[in-house]
Amino acid sequence: MDFTGYDTGAFFDEMFEVDGSVRPHYKAFAQRLGTMTRQEFERRKEAIQVSFMRAGVTFNVYGAEEGAERIFPFDLVPRIIPRKEWEHVERGLKQRITALNLFTKDIYTDQKIVKDGVVPEHYILSAKHYRPAFRGIKVPRDVYIHICGTDLIRDDKGEYLVLEDNARCPSGVSYVLENRQAMKRMFPNFFPEAGVRTVLDYAQRLLRMLRSIAPAGIENPTIALLTPGSYNSAYFEHCFLARQMGIEIVEGRDLVVQNDQVFVRTIQGLKQVHVLYRRIDDDFIDPEVFRPDSVLGVPGLVRAYRAGNIGLANSIGTGVCDDKVIYAFVPAMIKYYLGEEAILPNVPTYLADEPSQLQYIIDNMEKLVVKAANESGGYGMIIGPHASKEQVEEFRAAVKANPRNYIAQPPIMLSRHPTWTGEAFEGRHIDLRPFILYGDNIEIIPGGLTRVALRKGSLVVNSSQGGGSKDTWVLRE
């Protein structure tokens, strides 16, 4: 197997220099791949597919019934990150989550950042996931965002940029772990002698973090993962993590709140729960406080949280940080709270709700990427240069009608990575979702989930839109 005929195009290629030579940190891998025949490569690829299907390493596709489970396509060419590069990313992510967490605390307490005129109040009040009812509640250790998935991309110069933050219930970490297991099983000889930093202790770290947010005085907390149920697209991941941690997985209907304490129904009666790793959005978590029609949540859960009788990861109201308008202010937050420049820059962002910027967006829509402020999964956006006239017009009208709900960014030429198409290796665009844990201290899984847009030319890496994933190696040396 080799890369004859591989074309890096006009993009930043993760594996190849502009002159076509292999970047130093990919050399050993390229050499090892060179000794493998195509038949052998295909055979192992097939074996991994079969093992994923059998093990049910799948996600559910909404709207389809049975057979809706799909394997998240897995590309066998690993993405490799050298140590130095990763250290830079890690510093940037730690800085960013620290600022985001201080911001969350601030807006739910004194709102100093508003008073000091750094973030306009109306943006916070109008943020879809802002929870005014939650203001003034004290959370353990002042940590709100315990688990964060911050999506990174690299531009045409190879610089890491932050695309968005996921401070509610980021998913995908199970694929990181499954991908690594599969690579270790099927391609042990690909791994460099000096080693790749392990990701397989993630569940232990997550458990440690969850234990750290138990109500004061509880030595041996009962911890459970709260899932919306087996039809949720990430249910596999919920089970996977619960199993790895040895904690219970519960649905809303398994829980009851009595005297502001949370209990689970067991065959021996009610048993108290101290920490919930919740994979349900705020909207559904407690029908007493949020959507009254939610059957997924637990009536009274927020009361119990207010009373300090249950730890929640993440806390309530962290979705403000996922708002793409708020995102635009993160570099300013970093400066405001930490007195530092952002180590990982944002993608330049125009806010449609700022009159001066609105006109620019309207006039240049064909050249911009326009996104709804609170959509994800590759929905609610257009890439101007790739969009049809009708789509552009549709968005133009939508932006004018509700400017608060839109932002625009110049299209970034995402870096590409050699990816097996079944015929040859070709460059495909990728991003990176590292997972950040914030407990007693901040820990980041080395690497994270590299998502790859498998369709030729596509910039959308989401699993629901033809994306796949790669194992991500952070080198020890």
Q: What is the dihedral of CA 131, 147, 416, 30, to 10 degrees?
A: 180
Closest CB to another protein among residues 198, 230: 230
428 lines the binding site for another protein (CB under 8 A):
no
- Which of 38, 91, 112, 253 binds another protein (CB under 8 A)? It is 253
66 lines the binding site for another protein (CB under 8 A):
yes
10-24 burial by CB neighbour count: b if 16+ within 10 A, else e? Answer: ebbbbbbeeeeeeee
> Least CB distance from residue 67 to another protein, whole Å?
8
DSSP SS3 for 63? coil
The answer to whether the Cα torsion of 50, 53, 57, 60 is positive or negative is: positive
- Which of 123, 175, 190, 240 binds another protein (CB under 8 A)? It is 240
Closest CB to another protein among residues 293, 423: 293
Closest CB to another protein among residues 36, 239: 239
209-239 burial by CB neighbour count: b if 16+ within 10 A, else e? Answer: bbbbbbbeeeeebbbbbbbbeeebbbbbbbb
> How many whole angstroms separate alpha carbon 294 and alpha carbon 184?
42
232 lines the binding site for another protein (CB under 8 A):
no
Closest CB to another protein among residues 86, 236: 236
Q: Please give the distance of CA 201 from its chain centroid, rounded to a whole number.
A: 18
Q: What is the dihedral of CA 346, 350, 356, 361, to 10 degrees?
A: 150
DSSP SS3 for 433? strand
Closest CB to another protein among residues 236, 329: 236
Which range binds another protein by CB under 8 A, 202-210, 212-220, 258-266, 432-440? 258-266
Closest CB to another protein among residues 266, 359: 266
Phi/psi for 320 (5° steps) reads -55, -40
> How many whole angstroms separate alpha carbon 77 and alpha carbon 29?
9
Which range binds another protein by CB under 8 A, 210-218, 244-252, 376-384, 389-397? 244-252
> Least CB distance from residue 36 to another protein, whole Å?
27
Q: Please give the distance of CA 91 from its chain centroid, rounded to a whole number.
A: 18
242 lines the binding site for another protein (CB under 8 A):
yes
Q: Which amino acid is at 461?
A: V
DSSP SS3 for 295? coil
- Which of 109, 204, 230, 258 binds another protein (CB under 8 A)? It is 230
Site string for another protein, 265-294 (x = CB under 8 A): xxxx--x---------------xx---xxx
Tell which positions 17-56 bind another protein, by CB under 8 A. 53-56
Q: Residue with structure tokens 């960013």? A: 96
Strands 467-474, 449-453: pairing is: antiparallel
Cα separations (Å) of 66 from 58, 70, 231, 296, 390?
13, 11, 10, 21, 35
Cα separations (Å) of 5 from 11, 246, 424?
16, 48, 9
Closest CB to another protein among residues 241, 328: 241
> Least CB distance from residue 434 to another protein, whole Å?
25
> Least CB distance from residue 228 to another protein, whole Å?
12
233 lines the binding site for another protein (CB under 8 A):
no
CB 467 within 8 A of CB 432: no
Which range binds another protein by CB under 8 A, 118-126, 180-188, 235-243, 452-460? 235-243
> Least CB distance from residue 369 to another protein, whole Å?
38
Strands 255-258, 261-266: pairing is: antiparallel
220 lines the binding site for another protein (CB under 8 A):
no
- Which of 264, 343, 413, 459 binds another protein (CB under 8 A)? It is 264
Site string for another protein, 166-205 (x = CB under 8 A): ----------------------------------------
238 lines the binding site for another protein (CB under 8 A):
yes
DSSP SS3 for 472? strand
- Which of 254, 260, 283, 426 binds another protein (CB under 8 A)? It is 254
Counting beta carbons within 10 angstroms of the beta carbon of residue 204, is it exposed (0 to 12), middle (13 to 18) or buried (19 or more)? exposed
Give the interface with another protein as residue ranges (CB under 8 A).
Answer: 53-56, 66-67, 222, 230, 235-236, 238-240, 242-243, 248-254, 264-268, 271, 287-288, 292-295, 297-299
